[in-house]
Structure 1
Amino acid sequence: MKLLFDQNLSRRLVALVDSVFPGSRHVIDYGLEAATDREIWDHAATHGYVIVSKDSDFRQLAFLHGPPPKAIWLQAGNASTRAILELLLRYRGLIQEFEVDAEGALLVLSLD
Structure 2
Amino acid sequence: MTFKVLCDVHIAYKVVRFFQSNGHEAIHINDILDSYHTKDSEISRYANENGYTVMTKDADFRNSHLLNNSPSRVLKISLGNISTKRLIEILDANLDEIVRHFEAEKCFVELGDGFMEVIN
- Shift in Å, 1:72: 0.6
Distance in 2 (alpha carbons) for counterparts of 1:58 and 1:40: 10
The yes-or-no answer on 1:58 pairing with 2:61 is yes
Count, aligned residues: 111
The answer (yes or no) to whether the contact 1:63–1:105 under 8 Å persists in 2 is no
**2:96 paired residue among 85, 93, 96:** 93
Deviation above 4 Å: which 4+ runs of structure 1?
none
Task: Flag the structure with higher strand content.
Answer: 2
Aligned to 2:113: 111
TM-score (norm 1): 0.88
Deviations 1:21-75 (A, max 9, x none): 5220110110431111111111111111101111111101110122653001110
Aligned to 1:13: 15
- Shift in Å, 1:5: 0.6
Distance in 2 (alpha carbons) for counterparts of 1:49 and 1:39: 13
Higher relative contact order (CA 8 A, sep 6+): 1
Aligned to 2:74: 71
Structure 1: any 5+ residue segments left out of the alignment? none
Structure 2: any 5+ residue segments left out of the alignment? 115-120
Q: CA RMSD in A?
A: 1.7
The answer (yes or no) to whether the contact 1:3–1:21 under 8 Å persists in 2 is no
Larger mean CA deviation between 52-61 and 28-37 belongs to 28-37
Amino acid at match of 1:37: D
The structure-2 alpha-carbon separation of the partners of 1:33 and 1:69, relative to structure 1 and needing over 3 Å to count, comes to same
Larger mean CA deviation between 1-10 and 90-99 belongs to 90-99
